[in-house]
Chain A
């Protein structure tokens, strides 16, 4: 069943017609064509689809689209400033070699952002905890953890 839905996406109000059976990920990728948010598994195990909804990192593949109604959603595209300037986490991921194939990267950065928004100086354990739901096959996580640490207040 189609219906109108309003929510805030990357700082802008969006009014869109959705099917209640959709996931938030489907809306983002297939309708709004924001393909920076990745589909890695579709059942909430890999974290490649992580976005931030009202301050919380969530797997967009598990969020029924109507749950985003009235909420504030940030995707990886929303981290880039209008002048093209990157978010500090995006910068440290580049500079610390935290990116290899890059498929997990947007989700990984969104999880890390949700952490740093809450906690400016996380411990290594807190960093690992925050990205424990984001799988990476390339990097062994070592440089990802370094990059998050570098972007934090520590």
Chain B
């Protein structure tokens, strides 16, 4: 590969100066003239009939401009399963059920108005445990659905499980549980809905799916009597996403309905407490898993049955089993696989995808169980993993075509840096653990299109505007896109301006999910930049009297590779084309949709055109008196294809890793009868700077042939194997296996006491 100027370099984030200066405007900071403030009244019970709802007093409060209830808005349901009305009528199914919405001249007046709304409920028995909700005769959360189990039969069968079980020399079986956790974006959810005189809608939003949101809102407007109206999404700077902003929510439809009713822009902004109880978190899971191997340690089968708490309504959380299937079928070489999953309605909050899209829950069970199997087979867990590890060129049983794969290199890096060999099995309170991961790294075809568009224009002076569909949510996509364009066009990175927040001017993109942005938006930007480069070189070729193929472009100068004297400044060529008779200004566009596949009816197909691998390892010290787990050293190694920007990439590994540490050790949404008992950062136990152990990020480059400059995705992988690596290390340290997250000192202590009794 030719010498690279921008790609592969630790270039600072383009949006960082505005952010450090306090100039970046988040949804919290936006106001539009004449704006009203909306607030939402939520249910007082997790399951109840609404007997009476009276908004008379609220409507009379000075400053209140509109009060909406379910009976005053058009019938409409939203969400993945279209089971969620923005305001509930008849009955409520969870404590986050929206009952009424108010628009007023200030947030304070709107809040006061909520207190004047009179609601009488008739409380109904409720279900908070998915296992209870699955039982025959259980009360129905949604009567019309006839059952509490969602009609999404997740089922993957590969090979011959029964034969594999007979063949296996060693078999382990166990059950693992994970908890509810939430995204904890520092910038909470919010939007401003605004209609123009022609009833076209502008939404100021911090969504991570601008084009899918646009489609959702257009459909909603249709049912609100505004067919064929235009919807424009303008994204503010986004204060974190992690999957929380992957769907459209009641508050957005309520802002739209309030704006329509008042003919004024309406802003709804979540308080921190709302962000905890009224956004959709990662669901809890119960996983029964069984693994078997030969006497020599070769994996023969994996069987998993999973129950997921869907909550009262349905968002993308219910579809996470699709991505869970990736590690289940294809993390390590395992020829026989059976997986079933049931998503179950309960009266809890409803679930959403969160960074990893189900992968952390599945990998926790897989990697803990594998450690158990390695022990049973009497093989070092590192050796066991290495022996069964995936390799490049493999087609896995679910028909994933593995192109690049550096999982063995990742494992080796972890082993070396931890000093694994010879130090395990001491059980002196110090222990080592490891876990690997596979995730989509080349897009993921979960929607009809997995594409992203890019438009590039260049002005008379060689300054470049890149219009990309991909959104910047902090992960650095803006900078990655700029680096790729700068590399191809040979212009300074500071001459690249990226516009990525307006559906009126940017081309389509499916959204920030599936760690797809560097890969898909990167390939899209690469395609557009190459087209523009060709146009530039064609112009220069005529002027320089050279063949375009003999020309190169660097430092905003076009020059002949054969004759260094033959050169011309980029701006000069552009201006001469612009002001020539007839005139010409250069623009290029490119839409990239990766050649990946939707699953077929058997849930098989090449979901992604590249797969990201990694391995994490950890050394822990467990205090047998207190149950406290101290992390001595943490190593996170990731196969990233090519690091377009090693500094930002490390940021994803560190950030993901620490989110994984929280998942493993502290974070937990404590629910009691459907009510979250700890809706604040302190009680939720979000990790602080003081909680951070020494972490090493290791980048393994494997040059992915389908990726832009060889790159694969890295947004989610960082937190996937953290929890099982720690659980495995704790087992090595003190001989107790904690099977439900988070691994609190109380659980460790309890397990130690039980072990003593045995």
Contact = CB atoms under 8 A, between A and B. Distances in A.
B650 A46 contact: no
B353 to A, nearest CB: 16
B692 A137 contact: no
Nearest to B683: A45
Interface in B152-193: 183-188
Given A109-B20, A137-B242, A140-B657, A101 B695 contact: no
A101 B657 contact: no
A97 B681 contact: no
A107 to B, nearest CB: 9
Contacts of B272: 40-43, 46
A93 B20 contact: yes
Interface string B363-407: 000000000000000000000000000000000000000000000
A65 interface: no
A93 B19 CA distance: 10
Interface stretch (B8-16, B55-63, B197-205, B588-596): B8-16
Contact of B659 (A48, A94, A103, A140): A140
B735 interface: no
Given A43-B272, A76-B21, A35 B29 contact: yes
A95 B680 CA distance: 32
Given A94-B17, A135-B686, A140 B12 contact: no
A132 B688 contact: yes
B665 to A, nearest CB: 14
A101 B187 contact: yes
A75 B21 contact: no
B655 A99 contact: no
Contact of A94 (B12, B188, B474): B12
B28 interface: yes
Given A100-B474, A103-B240, A137 B184 contact: yes
Contacts of B187: 38, 40, 101, 103
A133 to B, nearest CB: 8
Interface residues of A, number: 53
Given A35-B29, A100-B475, A138 B240 contact: yes
Interface string A111-154: 00000000000000001110111111111111111000000000
B594 to A, nearest CB: 25
A134 B473 CA distance: 20
A100 B689 contact: no
Nearest to B21: A80
Nearest to B237: A102
Contacts of B651: 97, 100, 138-140, 143
B692 A141 contact: yes
Interface in A75-97: 75-77, 79-80, 86, 90, 93-97
Contacts of A137: 183-186, 240, 242, 655, 659, 686
B690 A140 contact: no
Contacts of A131: 689
7 contacts: A97-B13, A103-B185, A127-B689, A131-B689, A135-B688, A138-B655, A145-B689
A46 B16 contact: no
Nearest to B13: A99
B178 to A, nearest CB: 19
A42 to B, nearest CB: 6
A22 to B, nearest CB: 12
Interface in B234-249: 237-242
Interface string A20-59: 0000000001000011111111110110100000000000
Contacts of A43: 272, 680
A77 B655 CA distance: 27
Nearest to B19: A102
A94 B186 contact: no
A135 to B, nearest CB: 6
A104 interface: yes
A51 B650 CA distance: 29
A89 to B, nearest CB: 8
Interface string B328-368: 00000000000000000000000000000000000000000
Nearest to B649: A97
B16 A141 contact: no
A129 B691 CA distance: 10
B25 to A, nearest CB: 7
A45 B680 contact: yes
Nearest to B239: A103
